[in-house]
Chain A
């Protein structure tokens, strides 16, 4: 598999591990936050932590879109599908996210609501064309990677005058979340960041430059394969040793400084900033999420169905919020593996395969034992 297997090569992994071991200063501790759930997943799945010296610590970040979506937005979607005329289209990750009252979209579907799991926004358009008598709502979530495909679908729906299609928009922005973590009243100690892979293919490396300038934190844009993660960790360790703080790009095979400008232009055309948006774990963050522009308001499900703002609380004892801030690790949660498992998740971090708890439960929990 080109561009996959060579980035998982075991001999090179050993080589990199040796390089990292020789580079670290034994007298200091390196706290590297991997922003993306994709990196968290790679670190656990491939045992990257075990190839690192003991003074290199990965702190798991909030870059898991399902994890940071507040419960109230799932409650909104569940209210919506109670309407007989609505077909809700969603990416599969959202189906098991716990809603208020131990509910979930999966349970709503089992109860008779018409909820379709889709792979692409093109599938949602197809369902809308095939069901003109129904209201087809796409539950749009995700970071900058996933936003352009939603923009394409909205523009296509407008061009086709697909009046029964609308979007429940929950798209959020990476730099705003990074800033919220750094500006937190009691910030988690982080020395450097592994920057997002696929978000950066869209936005480029340029938006991170402000963090190296203002907060003096090194950032390395890192690919999602295990060798990418190791190489990027090495680049961060070198920057820290040398007292540098720059944006470096390890994932240069897919990321440029400018990013995908065609995708950015589409997003600009269709969406605008919300004044603020709630993130699980991080609270209300200004300018951190997108909504449809006035010119596309006809396709905005929140307006079409007059969806209310719902305040909901997380399940008691669930440490998801602290884990998303990097303040706690999955193994610090009392619910993990007892009442909270991927089959019966209590918090969103156990639902998505990008969530830190799911990654820990699937790959990491046997580490110390084995």
Chain B
């Protein structure tokens, strides 16, 4: 039942992106840049949002950023994400050590 909940919740980005809660931020991919206004279009599961780049530097097309109340908060570090995923996989194997 628990894993079922995880499975169901995984598919709800369309409601999440417009969820107007304060501290939540979502990973979104930059799909268009407008340097003149310092704005970008970001995509989560094909839902597009306009985001301000006022709080970040050096964002490029294809980058993943955390989007919070219409602003990119920072870039997501792919290498670090992979390391964390590897830790999850190890947890059940190495914990008795």
Which A residues are closer than 8 A to B by beta carbons?
A: 1-10, 12-20, 22-23, 36-38, 45-47, 50-51, 63-66, 91-93, 117, 119-123, 141-143, 145-146, 148-149, 152, 196-199, 201-202, 223-224, 226-228, 230-231, 234, 250-254, 260, 262-263, 266, 352-354, 363, 370
Contacts and interface: CB of A to CB of B under 8 A. Distances in A.
Nearest to B29: A2
B44 A149 contact: no
Most B CB atoms within 10 A — which of A5, A196, A250? Answer: A5
B9 interface: yes
Interface of chain A, main secondary structure: helix
Interface in B34-80: 44-45, 52, 54-57, 64, 66, 68-71, 73-74, 76-78, 80
Given A1-B44, A19-B92, A266-B54, 19 more contacts: A15-B92, A15-B93, A18-B92, A18-B95, A20-B95, A22-B95, A64-B22, A122-B70, A145-B25, A148-B73, A149-B71, A196-B23, A198-B68, A199-B23, A223-B84, A252-B83, A262-B56, A352-B22, A370-B1
Nearest to A119: B70
A250 B71 CA distance: 23
Contacts of B95: 18-20, 22-23, 234
Interface string B1-14: 11101110110010
A295 B73 CA distance: 25
A254 B66 contact: yes
A74 to B, nearest CB: 15
B9 A45 contact: yes
A5 B55 CA distance: 26
B80 A146 contact: no
